[in-house]
Structure 1
């Protein structure tokens, strides 16, 4: 990805395309600007947590999801009032509210250095064998007999 951690298409996993279309109809380009703003916030959080702001050529599924959820939430907030409580039975925004809360917590963890946005997937093929000390003095012990 270039400067953004997600694309407008990634937002479609969290809100309907019709909402995205309506948002852009009411305020042209706001979806793209929101994605850029959230991406900048994520870069700042990574730097504050002691991580590189980007890993050239390496995508982070975590950062992509966090960016898409936060962007979707902010975009929908531009055209409708989101419910503040999860207790209402008519809350159609409950799924994205939960995703938003999770994304905010993860961003806070990244900012504090507790969650690595690029976890190491390196699998080692080496084996390390650890054994206790020999009971009878090692290889030379039995030569005496």
Structure 2
């Protein structure tokens, strides 16, 4: 199998979360909640909206691609030479929601970013679950 210049890696994290899609959607789309588990942002769930995530290490430039309330959210994620896309998919499952996050677009030479994302999203998911566990 030959490696082509377009071959990229992706990070996928999936969890069954015991909360309704609407509650998880709020945590994914309301800036004051996003800040509790991810980073400060000026996010708005509107297609083409440009926004950024800001952390102590720097910032991520993003643009909203897809908004299907309580189902799908997708945005570009550009930082430190990485041009990627993050897609959240929410599906009803049992008494809760199957939440899937996929970040695509890591080039083979971006191992540091790729490994960092694999580690980072696990931490972000854990923090997201803590935010969701708080009473509304």
- The TM-score normalised by the length of structure 1 is 0.28
Q: Which has the larger radius of gyration?
A: 1
Greater helix fraction, Structure 1 or Structure 2: 1
